[in-house]
């Protein structure tokens, strides 16, 4: 999968692609509703999660900071997410796997912040 495919997947959830939505908006909202904030069994950090997706917030900084955004950081700093409020879907992949010691200072967090800055998307409160 490449970055374009990843972004297209999230776009099909957030707003639809070419008039087709992968899931109805109500189901997407359900999937993006917090189910837990317990430590993840693999990465051992507390992560806000919906049904299969990471949500914005602490240790989810690589996901857009809109309250209804959802996505998933991948191994080594690749990320995909949807921000339905702003009609935004993002996917980026890397050719070199890297894992920062501090999750909130990695290149994925910096790239996501630059995307929000370039588009003039401010952090919204839940």
pLDDT for res 12: 95
pLDDT for res 71: 92
User: Does residue 98 register a pLDDT over 80?
Assistant: no
Phi, psi of 100 (to 5 degrees): -70, 150
Please check whether residue 87 lies inside any domain of the structure. yes
The answer to whether the predicted template modeling score (pTM) of the entire model surpasses 0.85 is no
Q: Specify the higher pLDDT residue, 63 or 41.
A: 41
| Separation in Å, CA 1 to CA 5, 39, 61 | 6, 28, 23
pLDDT for res 126: 53
Q: What percent of the chain has pLDDT over 90?
A: 35
**What DSSP letter does each residue of 44-64 carry, written as one string?**
-SB--B-SSSEESSTT-TTS-
Mean per-residue pLDDT for 29-52? 89
Domain total in the chain: 1
Q: What percent of the chain has pLDDT over 70?
A: 83
User: Does residue 22 register a pLDDT over 80?
Assistant: yes
**Range(s) of the domain holding residue 74:** 3-119
Please check whether residue 125 lies inside any domain of the structure. no
Please check whether residue 126 lies inside any domain of the structure. no
d(CA 36, CA 77): 23
d(CA 20, CA 68): 20
Please check whether residue 124 lies inside any domain of the structure. no
């Amino acid at each position: 999968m490449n970055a374009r495919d990843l972004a297209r997947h999230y776009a099909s959830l957030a707003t639809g692609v070419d008039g087709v939505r992968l899931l109805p908006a109500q189901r997407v909202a359900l999937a993006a509703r917090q189910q837990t904030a317990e430590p993840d069994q693999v990465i051992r950090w507390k992560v806000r999660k919906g049904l299969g997706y990471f949500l914005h917030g602490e240790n989810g900084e690589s996901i857009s900071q809109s309250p209804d955004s959802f996505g998933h950081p991948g191994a080594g700093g690749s990320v995909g997410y949807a921000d339905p409020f702003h009609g935004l879907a993002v996917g980026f992949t890397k050719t070199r796997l890297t894992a920062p010691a501090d999750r909130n200072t990695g290149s994925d967090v910096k790239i996501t912040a630059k995307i929000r800055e370039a588009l003039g998307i401010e952090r919204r409160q839940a």
